[in-house]
Structures are given as structure tokens and as C-alpha cells.
Structure 1
Amino acid sequence: MTKTPLPSARLLRPRLVDRIVSDPTGSVFLRAPAGAGKSVLMQQAAERVGAAVCALHAPRPSDVQDGWLFWDVPSSARTARLSAQVADTVAHLVIAHRPSQKITGLARRVLHGGAQTIDARALSFSAEEIDTRLPAPVIRRLIEQYAGWPAFLPLADTADHELAAAYVGETFLSQLSPAPTTRLSLWLEAPAPDPEDDWCDALPPFLLAAPDTQAELIAALRSATAARLEGFSKSAAVTEVATALEAAHHPLAAMQLLLDHGHEAHAAQILAHSRGLELIYESNLDEFSRIILRFSQETVATNETVLFAITRTLMKQGEFQRVRQLVAKHLGSDYLDPLKVLSRGTRFSFAARRFRLNMMISEDMTPSDAMLQRLGEFMADYPVGDDQKWAAFYNALLEFEIRRRNFREAEAAAARALIYFRKIGGHPLLEFFIHLHLTVLHLTNGDARMARPAARTARERLHSVTHPVEQEFRMLRLVEAALAYEEGQPQKLVAFLQQDFDAFARAEIWPSLFHFAIQYSSQAVMDHYPASIRPRFLDGLWLHLAERMDLLQTIQIRTATAYQNEGRIGDAETALQNLRATQATPAEAMTPDWLCALQERDQITLATARLRCAVQHPAPGPQIDRQVAALESNPKATLRESVALKIWRAHLAHKRRDTAAARSHLHSALISASRLGCFGVLSEQRIFLAPLLREARIRQHLETSPDIRATLAIYAGSISTPKAKARAGGLTEREAQLLQLIASGNPNKRIAQTLNIAEPTVKFHLSRLYAKLGAKKRGEAIQSAHALGWL
């Protein structure tokens, strides 16, 4: 059975009627938007004094009754005027009108006699006013869901969402033009109390004061606003809606609307107004990509702003090869040469040169002195006062100086970039990148203690970003996992490999971060996965990096390191010999003077890897001590590399039975690691460190230092991998290798090829392994090893 709605006209308002009829000023304004009950209240007041209500655009003298004029200004009137003739004959004037309507002809009357205004807040029902005249549920619903608005009294008894939305659309929104309707729709996405806009006068004040408590009225407004905007979008008003969206700082929504309706040129203008390239840092990447990639090829060919927005999007998605193809197609093949683009007198625009600098950040090249000089010349063309562009310039310089191993200069560039960001009031996402860069810088250098506060600040800035930034959080998880690894807790790094690495590698990663990722992730693979998995992991890296050929050397070096850690020196040397840089510099050319003078990151990394093979070799050569010492004295060697080189020198001294020298070098290495908080390097060098620590005379000497004891405790915890447990449980290095290989399903022949030993030797080692595990066959051995935590 359908309930009969409660008619609002039956609810008398004696208090307000008393205010009107007893007003001493002679002029009462009922000023409120539609639905506030102005007409009903005026009718009640008129009945009280025995007068009629005038609803004309201009009252006549005959409408004045016994000195009273009740004038209900028609909603269609934008302005209304009370004639002087009528004004002079009225003793008591009551006018009901909307806030948007202008009433003239009353200035003299109000100036000399004053006026009383009963506004929308006073006209809204309160629980005290209604008292017990309605059922309690109806009162509560009217106050809590419909803002106490008189027009909604019928709905407070019987809810009807469609009717409420229709009423809102016809009554509240019909007077709003496209721009304020658009701004209202944006407010409705996340209503905040007490907004300030020209559409506010059209809505109930209690709704604006507490929108989170008026769910049904908000829902009706959303439906009505969406319907009205849809109507605008089917007319010429679509450009006005887009302009309002742009003015309200929603350029992507504006562009999407314009592209939906074929206004591509206008959409490109909004992209330019929104600083084109920088807009991607203030938007959700998926949303930005979806809209930007809709521009036609004709617009891309003629509009640099659109071209660079699209190519920047592709870079964020890791599509660097497509970026190179696009810019070469539209700007010419010489655009791929940064020296030509950045030089003075170039044919390229300032925007094109800026984007070329942006591309250089993603290219794995180490800028030469000549390139940095060109960058300095380009810097002179930067506009004074555009602080965000200057911050971006120093961000690029930061990346280049990290590649050049100029860590102090890199820190200075970071500080300068942050100064410019502060000048523009901050930019959380771009500041995050600066602090993440600093974290990578310090960890690459080997200073974990300096990296920790930079990582904390990076997390704080990223949490301040208001749009989704999952890709950036993935970068942050990597560096935080690396920090945990340095503290002797490798589990986070292993989890990152399992859960995040594939998605991380497919996105835009600048080269210093990618080198960093390869270093740490490959070390985690070496430490925690069977030998058979490692080549597949490094092959997978190569697939991700097919467009960035300069990273091949880094991957080959990590492959060689994995072989070295398995005692496969021959395979390690072969992996390194296949590199062009190795072939260009034979072993005999690696003199101490040459090693001391190396400048470039890749040269030093490769020389370090080759020396590591030589140090591990049974007969390392007569120059090896001088070579290691020379590389350690190289000013471009990182602090991390210095710790490793000290351990190698201790290893070489131990092989010569020079215990005093071994103790001295190892003591220096451990103290350095302790001061830097860089304990991961000890785990990485355990093939050299473990034999030294097993020597009682060396160990006893070291443990007299509390700092070294604490360092060794962290080191012991970091190597508690399944393989380390197997070694501690009595397996030899070879038996531990065999256990991992049979657990991966390798037959004896494949194991023999992997370890470069004869097949009968494999069988001999397996028989010893089975005996230690109390097993008779492979399945039993694997089961026992799992139970012991050795796999």
C-alpha cells in the first residue's frame, strides 16, 4: 500500500510568522534558494494579517492591503523593481526572493528604516521547531538526510531517490550555467564542509556545513548534476564545461571531454596551459597515458607539446625504443645526437632541448666533460624565475654525476634541486625522486648510514603525493630492501625479487637505479637460489634490458661473480673475456698505474671483476698485490669497493702465510664496514672472508674490538642462507653445490658440465652427500635436506 506523503503546507511555522508580522523595521526579506519554503511561509504570514500574496514581476498600488504588501518575486525574474509609488504607500513590506535575484527600488527605505532578513539557515527546519508534530523517524530523516529543507518534507516520510534527483535538477540546478555546474560536480566527488563558490547560494546551508551527514541529498545532487552535465556535453556548452574543468585544475578531465567530442585542438591547448611535460608528475600515470595517447598522428606531427607528452608517457612505461623512433620521425635523426641538440645555435626549440636532456637521463651513457660543457651552455638559456625547470635541470645533473662517480658533486646538485622545489612551495613526487637518488647514491658508494635518512625522507615525500604512484612505491621498496640487506636482513630483497622485480624492470628506470637493482637483486639470487636458477634470472634481466645495450657489461659481470662464488673461475673468466672492453685491455695491460688512473664507472667495475678472478686464482700472478692496492687508491673507487679490496688484500696475505698483514687488512675492512653500516659487502665477499675468520689467530685478534664483534654478529646472521646452513651442517662447498643442482632436477651429465668435472666425480661426491644425509637415493636426500632447512 502506498503511503501518502506529508504535505509541507500543513506544517505551520508560528515562530517565523511572528517574526514577520511583528517586525519593527517595516521591511522583511525572505532570502533563500528554491525549496526553502519561502512561499509557504509568506502565505501563512499573509493569512495571519488577512492579506493576499502578490506574485507579479512589479507589484501595483492595489496589491497593498491595509499597509501590507506580501511580494513573492517570480523565479523567472533575474531583477525586479519596486516602484516609488508603491514603496511610499507600504507600511509593512515582505519580499520572498532567491539570492541570485536582484531587487531594486528599496535603497532609501532600507537606509532610513532598516530591514530584517530571514535567510536559508533560518528557514531550514530544526528538530526543536518541528517538536512532536511529526513522527520521530520522519523528523530524524528530514534533519539528517535532507538538511532540514522544507521542500523535502514529503520525502522524509517516503524516500524516492529518482523523485529527489528530478526535483534537485529542476529546482536547484536549472539556474546554474555550465561552469558552476561543473564546479559543483567536482565538489560532489569529495564534499568538504563550507565550500566557497557561486553555486553555494543554490543549496541548503546545513548540507554545505556538514555534507558527510546528508547522504541521500548528496546522492540526489550527484545524479542530477551528472544528468545536467551530460546534457551540456551534447551541445556547444561542452567547451565551457572543459574550460571550467581546466580552471578547477582538472586538465585531464577537460582534455578527455574535448577529445570525446572531437575538439582535439582545444585539448592540445589545455595540455600546453598545464605545462605539458610536467603534468605527468601531477597525475595518475594510467589515466594520463589513456588520455594522452588518444591524440591523432596529425596533431603529434604538428604540436611539440603533444609529442613530448606522448614520448614522456612511453618512457614511463619503459618503451624507450619507441620514444627514439617517434622523435627521430618527427624531429629528424640528428635529434638522437645530444651534442647537436644541446649546442648553441641549434635548430631545435627550447622544449625539444629540454626533452632531449630528459631522454639522456634514461639512456645509459656517462656524459663526457664536453657534454657537461654543452649542458652548461644550455643552462644559460633557462628562463630566470622558472624554478621547476631549474629543479629538473639539477635533477638531471644529479643522475649524471652519480654515473661519473662524482658523489660530492651529485649531492650538491641534489641540494640545489631541493632549493628550487622549496621556492615553488614543494613538489612531493619530484622531491621523492631527489631523495631516492640520494639513497641510491649513498648505497652505491657504500655509505648505508647516510642512505637511511634519505630513504626515510623519500618515503615521507611519496606519502604526500595525492594520486596513485605504485611504480614509485616499487622503487622505494627496492631501496628499502637494499638497506635491510645491508643490515644483515636479506629477506626483504628476496621478497622483492619474487613479488616486484618483473613489474619494476618493465617500467621507466633511470640507469643508476638499474645498475643498483642489478647489483643487489643478483646478489640475492646468488645467496638464496640454486645455481641452476641464476643464469635464468640474468637472462631474464637481459630480456628486460634489450633496448639498453650498455647494461650488458653489468649483467655479464654479475654472471661472472655468480660463477666465482661457485668456484668456477674458468667460467667466470670466459664470461668476462667475451666483453669488448676486456679484449681491448689484455691482462698484462692492467698495470698498477693504469688501475689507479681509471675514471669511468664501467671501467672500474670491469677491472674490479677481473681482479676478483685473479685474487681467487690458485696462482694469481706476481703483480696482484700491487694491482689491488692501486685500485684501492683510485679516487673514483667507491667506499664499498674499498672494503672489498681490503678483504682481498687480507686473503692474499693469508695465502702468503703473512698473518700480521692479513689481520691488519681485515681489521681495516671490518672497521670501515662498521662505520659505514655497509655489512652486505661482507656477505658478498664471504668466499674470501670465511677462510680468514676460520683462522684462530686472526679471529681472536679481531674479536678484541667491540665494533668488530658487532659487525661479525651481523655478518653471521646475513649468511644464514640454506646453503650456509648446509655448510655449517658439515657439507663441503662442492657437496652444497651438488645438493642445489639435484634439487633443481639436473641429471649427472648436466651437473658434470655445469661444474666442469667428470661424471664419475659427480657420482663420488653424490655418494658422500647421501651418506651425510642418511639417504640412498636423490628423492630421500632432497627430502632430508628440506627437513634440515638446507634447501
Structure 2
Amino acid sequence: MNSTDKRWGLASEAFRPPRRMPDIIERRSLIERLRSAVEGQIVRVLAPAGYGKTELLAAFYQTLRMDGVPVGWLDMARLGRKPLAPALAAAFGFADLAADAEISLDTVIEAIAAIPAQRSVVLLDGVAPVHGPLLGPLLEMLPDRISLVMASRHDPGIPISRFRIRGLLSDFGPADLAFTTAETRRLAAHWSPGDLDRLCKATLGWPALVRLAVLSLSGRRDEREMERVCSGAHPDIRSFVREEVLAATGPGDATILSVAACLGEAPRRLICELAGAADGRSPEKLDDLVPALLPLDERADWFACHPMMRAVLRIDLAAEETRQLHSQAAAWFAGQGLIEKAVLHAGHAGDFGFAAHTIQAAGGVDLFLRAGYKVLRRLLDGLPTEVIEASPGLRLCAALVLAKEGRILAAREAMDELKALARDDRQAELPEHVVVHIDSLLDIYEDRRFEPEQIEWLESRLRSQRLRDTWELGWLHNHLCIAHTRQGALRRARLHALKALECYRSEGTPYAQAFMLVHLALVNLMGGRLAAAAHFSRQAEDLARRTQGNDETLLAIARIPLAEALYRQGHVRAADSILEECLPLVAAGEGWVDLYARGFVSWARCRFRLKGLDEALRITDRAARVAEDRRLPRLDLVVTILRVELLTLAGALGAAEQAARALPGEGGWPTRREMRDAQVALARLRLQQGESDEARRLLLDLVSHTQDDDDALTGLSARIVLAEACHAGHDPAAGMETLIEAASLALEHDLVEPFVAEGESFRDLVRALMRRSGLATFPSDIAAFLNRVLALGGGGLERPGLGLLSERELGVLALMAAGHRNKQIARDLGITEATVKFHIKNLFAKLGVSRRAVAVSLASAMGLLEQSPTPGGGHKRGEL
């Protein structure tokens, strides 16, 4: 220590930043934020050890010096309880003032404020609660021209409210100082993306932990060492946590962290109660322990220990202490009605009897509808097999889980065993309504026929229920919805679905509500109500995400009706993307025939439009495998009908005829829907084979009944093919009438794709009918809709020039609408006037008009002008 140092009472290192690390990451965005913050007056950098506070202040010090800003550095840890005034003078190089041990603080502040600069900055590193009495007077007399930046591990308890009220205070916490993924990648440049992701999740950006992890692996890829680092078991990680983080906490804080580490995710009240810290202030202390203890975004007032901190603390907990904490937590959660958490902690405590009792007391198998199947499965996963086998109620739960995972045969066997047990052992008697419910659910998954007697039994049971028995009423309406859907009575199905949804809402069961919303989406879809189907589908997805966020199968189920609605409206690529993501999940888990049929049929049609026959047939093969694995003959029949359709549309008539031979004869149809879909497919095949009269015969009776039965989608397809058959049978008037009827049905719900899917031959038919009669004979909305159908090409993208008018005719039309005469149109397009007249003549014939003004007016109403090329040859903005 030199003589000057002796007068100050501190080593000179106290007045300059420490040497910066060699592998430093420049944090320019943070420096810029600090630069803006000091334009206020007070900046607090508050974070535990290892967050780079000193490093950040050192970088800021250098930046300020380079900018010519007067700046002083003071290491408060070296200052201790010594007087602040001479040290502050020394920090700014006022040697004469620093030499006076009795110098007053206001004199030093006046000297700093007198420096000829717009602003001076004081950087105080290592501020601690012990410095509160020193810094309080400094803040009281701090002039506007001096800014103060304080870095500390803990809140030093300095009064700063007046600065906050005036908007002069800025705080930088752990979330601000944590390394971003990009910064972590710069340190771990040699790590793979997967390893980098593991590192980010384990450290949560804690800079010191990131550096230690990278240094511990020293550039080598060792899976065992990687696991030790990311789990917090590496000695370097444990040493840092114990020496730098835990050592800086008080005894009460250490206990709170240990309890939180043991429990995992837990509410504030429980952590404080088990830590013995239920006094008035202790719950607030949890907020001061961030980031060692982290608040959960998805659960208000719940906390979880930092992953690496948790690993270290668990090592230090005795086994008996751990069991006791879990046992206390299980009782607490059971008392709060949080069954999943109660069973989880009972399992960790080894108290499986309590866990089993808790499940039964909470409703047993009914939990799957109240909390979700995933919850029930996790509860059972925490119990040994012998515990489940010893309880008929838990075995019933296990049978349900098997069914929800798609293992229907095993679930049926388990149910048969339980019913036999109940007959032989009265003590093993199972609730009759629960057994009936699961049996009915298995009937749905196995697609067993709903005979009229079964429907009558469900309806009689429904009539016998009291209005307040909403739980029982809900599942009865649920099963009646499915039964009537299978029978094709869609109006009844929709009514029961709405009533079931109302019951489940009154029970407050989001899982069951999500499924009823899916059923409503499917029923509306079959009835051709695309907007309603999409609405219910999105509602189901939103509810599932909010309440069952980790149930991927339920989310996938919810999106399948939306995908078909999008496909039917012509959004083929969007629908294909959704189905590609969702159907494999549903095929591997829970599903029923109508859901599989809607999903796989739509997916195959998307692939046919986008990639051709081979890709579409691959989807039918996948659907056939599901039908075989699940023993679902009705789904196999749907696949056969779909193959007939696809092969016919592709022109492979011989193969289509061969596939059609596998269809059942009269009376062999499981439901009316498959029979009607097959009639449409066979009619399309006969039409392509030149048998228009046979095609017409197949469709006429079907068309009259589908309107009565609310089977709109099948009825629409039948009318489209019937229009083709009439025209091919030399009855253009009937073809025109049927086409207009089909377009009228489709227009309300924007059902574009059923027309487009019929291919180029159908578009030729539409053009021929339009040219024969003229567009003036069509209502303007029907004409516009049909023109849109014509404008849709094979790739599903709307392009001008592919509709009723050629691209040249569209160009002439645009210039006519702009008021140009024939000579000017000829000059603009670079063609002769005679050619212009030829195009106008064709244009008038197609539109069914004889005057320019009428042609422009009709074309505008149809949207044709929006497709027209600009005079320069390009297309109008926004038309593609």
C-alpha cells in the first residue's frame, strides 16, 4: 500500500474495476440499457452471486470513460464500515479531499457536481445491507447531475421510494442479467443444438452456472459428464451453489429452499408452513429468493426451485426428512382438493395406502372426466401394481386408462374380469353407473352397433334421472349424441351434444367439455355447417390448451374437425399440415370411427390434390392399418369407398371397379352414411365409364333423402355428380338446375372444395353450361361462386385466367371497365382492333350480355375485375 493509499485507508484496487475475464461476452444491449437508465438517477443491479454484476459494471465503466463521462468506481466490500466521503473523493481522483479523513460528504458531492460535464456517474459494486447507514445520507443529498449505480446480492434496504415515484429509479434483476440462448451459444459454440437446449433448461441462463458447465466439459462430448453437469451433480456446480449462493442466505432462507427443492412445484403457503416460517413477513421472503426460487408463470403464487439448486439441495436432505416432507405435503394437498398432487407426494413418501384412498375418495374413475385422463394415468403410474390389483376401484381406473390409450381389447378383458369379480365377491361390488359408463365407452371405441333397444335404454335411463344429477345426465346425453351420430340422426345428435355440454359446464369439468365441443364440431361438419364446426373445434382446442395443456392427443382430436372445415373451404395446404401433425397422435392413442373417418378421408383428399394418387393411397393404407389394429370394420369400409373415389378421379377406372367389388350388397351397410357415400362414389365411377343413366339412377333417390336427414356434405357431392350425369345424358336443363341447386347449398358455408375436387371434367361442364345459357341467367352470387370454383387450379391456389374468362379476355374487360374504347384497348394490349372485337364478342357470349355497361356491371358483381391483369400485363395487387 503506497502513501496515498494509507491516507485513504483503502488499497487502490477499491477504486478501479477488477481485471475482466478473458472469454468475456460483450453485452452491448445491457450496456445501452444502463446508459439510458443513468439518464434517470438511481440504478439498482440486484442479483445473487454468479450473475455477472461486477463484470457488467466494469464494462459500463470502460464505456463511460470512452464517452468522456466522469465516472468513479468504489468497491463497497473493501470499504466495509469506513467513512464513505473520503473513499468517494478518491474514486473521482480528488486526492486532497481524500486525504482529509474528516471531510464531509456534502463537500465531496459538491466537488463531483462541479466537474464540467452534463452528468457524472458513481458505480458502487458489492453493496450490502451493512452499507445502508452510509448510503442513506448520500441519497438524501444527491443532486440531479450525479447518477448512482449500485450492484448488490441482496436488497440493502436503502430508502428509494421518492426516486421511484419520480420515475428516476431503474432496476436490473436476474431476468435482465441472465444469458440469452444466443449468448450461451457463443460460450458453448462446439455444443450440439440438443445439448445446448439441455444446458439452457438446466441453468436458466445463470451466467456462472453456464460458464462452469462449459468449462467442466472442456470441449469434449461425454454423455455421462453431460448428465452430471446438467443435473447439478458435478462437483464444480455443487461447490459454487454451496459456497457462493447458499452460504449467502440466512438459516430461514436455506430451510425454505430445502423444502422447495424437496416438493418440486408448490404454493407459497405450503412451502412456508413446512419450513416453519409462517410468521407475518416470511411469505414475502420467497420473492426475495429469486432466482434460487422461481415463481411459476402458469400458477399464481406457486414456486419451484432452480433446477441445479434443487439437485444440490436434494443431495443434502436426509431420506427420513424427505419422506416426512412428502407425507405432510400429501395431507395438505388432499385437504385442498388437489388430488393429483396429494397422490404424487403420497407416492414419494411411500404411503401408497393413502394414495389409493385419496383417489377413491376423489371419485375414482370419474376423475378422468373431471380432471382429464392424463391426470388419472399419472396417479396410477405412481402406484405399485400390487396396490392397484388389490383395489377393484383402482382396477376400474386402470381399465379406463387402457381404453383411452387405444388398447381396447385389453380394456375389455379387464372390464370382464372386474364384472366377474363383482358377481363372486360382494365386497368387490362396483358402482353400477360407472361400469355402464365404461362399457358404453368401450362400445363406442369398438364401434359396436347402437341398436334401437340400446338407444331406448339410454333414453329411458335419461328420463329417470333427477335434474340435479348433472353428472349422470351429462354422460347419458354424451352417449346418445354418439349413438344418433352413428345412425345419421344429426339433429338429435346435435341436441344431445348441447345438453351434455351444458351439464358438464355446470359440473365445471373442462376435460369432458372439450370432448363435447369436438362432438358438436363433428356433427355440424357432417351437416355442412363449416363455420359452426370450425368455431366448436377452436373452442375445444382453446379449452384443452388452457386446462389440459400436456394432453397432446386431446389437442390433436380437437383440431381434426377444423382441418376438414379448412379443406372444404379450399385451404388444402393448411388442412394437410394440421392432419399430418394430428392424425398420427390420434391413431396411436384415443379415437373412434367417425373421428378416424373424417380425419383420414380429408387427409387423403388433401394429398390427392397436392401430391397425386400415390400419396393419397398411402394415407388410405395407414387408415386401413388403424382399422385392422383397432378391429374397426366400418373404418375399413370407409377406406374402400375412399379408394373407389380416388381411383376414379385419377382415371384408373379398372382399379376403381376392382375396389368397388369389395363393397357390400344391399342390406350389408353398417350405417346409412357409408351406403350413401358409396352411392356417390359408384355413381362417379359409372359416369366415367359412360353409364350416365346408371349414375343418375344411383343419385336421384339419394338427393331427395339427404336433405331430409341433414346429411348435407354427402347430399352436396351427390348433386354435383348428378349435374354431370344429367349433362352427359343430354339433359342440360336438368344439369343446369341441379348445378344451381348445389351451388346454392354450398354458397352459404363456402363449400368450394367439393366442386374443385371433381377435376377438370367438371370445370369443363360448368364452362359449357355457362356458355350455353350465359351468365345473365345465373343469380350474381351463384355466378361469382362458380367462377371462383373455375379459378381454383390443381394446386389449390386461386389464379386469374383459370376461370370462365381467358387471361386476354380479363385484360380486355379491365380496360373496358376503365372506360377505354376499342382502339385504345388495341394499343394498350399490342393487338389489332379486330382482335379486340373478337375478344369482346366472346366475352359478351360467356357473360350472356349484349352491352359494355352491363358486362362491366355483371363482372364487377362477380369479382371478375379483381382477377383482371393490369394494362401493363401484371396482375392487380392482392389477387393471388
Q: TM-score range by the shorter chain?
A: 0.5 to 0.7
* Closer, same or farther: CA 500–599 of 1 in aligned 2, 3 Å: closer
Instruction: Give 2:784's aligned amino acid.
Output: A
What pairs with 1:85-100 in structure 2 (closer than 5 Å)? none
Match of 1:472 among 550, 554, 558: 554
Q: Deviation per CA, 1:671-702: give whole Å up to 9, x if none.
A: 11102322222123336622312315357347
Q: Deviation per CA, 1:253-281: give whole Å up to 9, x if none.
A: 43334345554333221111222234345
Match of 1:573 among 650, 657, 666: 657
Q: Find the residue that maps to 1:365 and give its secondary structure.
A: coil
Q: Deviation per CA, 1:612-635: give whole Å up to 9, x if none.
A: 3334331245x6534422111113
Q: RCO (CA 8 Å, sep 6+): is it higher in 1 or 2? A: 1
Residue in 2 that maps onto 1:189:
265
| 2:571–2:796 contact (8 Å) kept in structure 1 | no
Distance 1:463 1:347 in 2: 33
Instruction: Give 2:497's aligned amino acid.
Output: A
TM-score, reference length from structure 2: 0.56
* Closer, same or farther: CA 711–724 of 1 in aligned 2, 3 Å: closer
Residue in 1 that maps onto 2:673:
601
With 216-225 and 704-713 compared, the bigger mean Cα shift is at: 216-225
Residue in 1 that maps onto 2:771:
697
* Closer, same or farther: CA 458–241 of 1 in aligned 2, 3 Å: closer
Residue in 2 that maps onto 1:409:
492
Distance 1:391 1:519 in 2: 30
Residue in 2 that maps onto 1:644:
717
| 1:145–1:214 contact (8 Å) kept in structure 2 | no
Distance 2:535 2:741 in 1: 26
* Closer, same or farther: CA 146–653 of 1 in aligned 2, 3 Å: farther
Instruction: Give 1:672's aligned amino acid.
Output: L
What pairs with 1:703-742 in structure 2 (closer than 5 Å)? 704-716=778-790, 718-721=792-795
What pairs with 1:769-780 in structure 2 (closer than 5 Å)? none
Instruction: Give 1:326's aligned amino acid.
Output: A
* Closer, same or farther: CA 134–457 of 1 in aligned 2, 3 Å: same
Q: Find the residue that maps to 2:709 and give its secondary structure.
A: coil
| 2:371–2:510 contact (8 Å) kept in structure 1 | no
Match of 1:354 among 424, 437, 455: 437
Offset of residue 552 of structure 1: 0.9
Residue in 1 that maps onto 2:665:
582
* Closer, same or farther: CA 688–416 of 1 in aligned 2, 3 Å: farther
* Closer, same or farther: CA 710–416 of 1 in aligned 2, 3 Å: same
Q: Deviation per CA, 1:693-713: give whole Å up to 9, x if none.
A: 231535734774332233234
- Pairing 1:395–2:482 present: no
Residue in 1 that maps onto 2:329:
241
* Closer, same or farther: CA 366–602 of 1 in aligned 2, 3 Å: farther
Match of 2:451 among 365, 368, 373: 368
With 484-493 and 391-400 compared, the bigger mean Cα shift is at: 391-400
Distance 2:136 2:343 in 1: 53
What pairs with 1:251-262 in structure 2 (closer than 5 Å)? 251-260=339-348, 262=350
| 1:625–1:649 contact (8 Å) kept in structure 2 | yes
Offset of residue 374 of structure 1: 1.7
Residue in 1 that maps onto 2:228:
none
What pairs with 1:480-519 in structure 2 (closer than 5 Å)? 480-519=562-601
- Pairing 1:289–2:377 present: yes
Residue in 2 that maps onto 1:537:
619
Offset of residue 554 of structure 1: 0.5
Offset of residue 504 of structure 1: 2.9
Instruction: Give 1:480's aligned amino acid.
Output: L
Q: Find the residue that maps to 2:547 and give its secondary structure.
A: coil
Instruction: Give 1:482's aligned amino acid.
Output: E
Offset of residue 306 of structure 1: 1.5
- Pairing 1:162–2:235 present: no
What pairs with 1:625-644 in structure 2 (closer than 5 Å)? 625-634=696-705, 635-636=708-709, 638-644=711-717
Match of 2:682 among 593, 610, 624: 610
Distance 1:284 1:334 in 2: 26
- Pairing 1:552–2:636 present: yes
Q: Find the residue that maps to 1:520 and give its secondary structure.
A: helix
Distance 1:277 1:147 in 2: 57
Q: Give the number of equivalent residue pairs.
A: 564
What pairs with 1:39-438 in structure 2 (closer than 5 Å)? 131-132=135-136, 141-143=153-155, 160-163=244-247, 167-168=251-252, 189=265, 202=277, 208-209=283-284, 211-212=286-287, 214-215=289-290, 218=293, 222=305, 231=319, 239-260=327-348, 262-281=350-369, 288-293=376-381, 295-332=383-420, 349-379=432-462, 385-424=468-507, 426-438=508-520
| 2:364–2:393 contact (8 Å) kept in structure 1 | yes
TM-score, reference length from structure 1: 0.62
Residue in 1 that maps onto 2:4:
none
Instruction: Give 1:618's aligned amino acid.
Output: G
Instruction: Give 1:528's aligned amino acid.
Output: L
Instruction: Give 1:527's aligned amino acid.
Output: R
Distance 1:502 1:398 in 2: 26
Structure 1 unaligned residues grouped into runs of 5+: 4-123, 149-157, 175-180, 336-345, 586-594, 730-791
Q: Deviation per CA, 1:458-497: give whole Å up to 9, x if none.
A: 3443343264232222233333222222222111122234
Q: Deviation per CA, 1:104-139: give whole Å up to 9, x if none.
A: xxxxxxxxxxxxxxxxxxxx9899877548999889
Distance 1:333 1:261 in 2: 31
Q: Find the residue that maps to 1:254 and give its secondary structure.
A: helix
| 2:475–2:500 contact (8 Å) kept in structure 1 | yes
* Closer, same or farther: CA 237–650 of 1 in aligned 2, 3 Å: closer
| 2:527–2:712 contact (8 Å) kept in structure 1 | yes
Q: Find the residue that maps to 2:468 and give its secondary structure.
A: coil
* Closer, same or farther: CA 532–311 of 1 in aligned 2, 3 Å: same
Distance 1:207 1:702 in 2: 81
Distance 1:671 1:261 in 2: 66
Q: Find the residue that maps to 2:613 and give its secondary structure.
A: coil
Distance 2:476 2:318 in 1: 43
Distance 1:233 1:242 in 2: 14
Distance 1:493 1:567 in 2: 25
Q: Deviation per CA, 1:516-566: give whole Å up to 9, x if none.
A: 112211211222223233333211222223212331100111111111112
Q: Find the residue that maps to 1:676 and give its secondary structure.
A: coil
Q: Deviation per CA, 1:146-200: give whole Å up to 9, x if none.
A: 999xxxxxxxxx98422356712787799xxxxxx79x987x83767x9998679
* Closer, same or farther: CA 554–285 of 1 in aligned 2, 3 Å: same
Q: Deviation per CA, 1:646-692: give whole Å up to 9, x if none.
A: 22222122112222221111111111110232222212333662231
Q: CA RMSD in A?
A: 4.5
Distance 1:272 1:462 in 2: 25
Offset of residue 406 of structure 1: 1.4
* Closer, same or farther: CA 457–718 of 1 in aligned 2, 3 Å: farther
With 204-213 and 126-135 compared, the bigger mean Cα shift is at: 126-135
* Closer, same or farther: CA 347–441 of 1 in aligned 2, 3 Å: same
* Closer, same or farther: CA 654–240 of 1 in aligned 2, 3 Å: same
Q: Find the residue that maps to 1:143 and give its secondary structure.
A: coil
* Closer, same or farther: CA 648–172 of 1 in aligned 2, 3 Å: closer
| 2:485–2:493 contact (8 Å) kept in structure 1 | yes
* Closer, same or farther: CA 439–584 of 1 in aligned 2, 3 Å: closer
Residue in 1 that maps onto 2:731:
658
Distance 1:599 1:495 in 2: 30
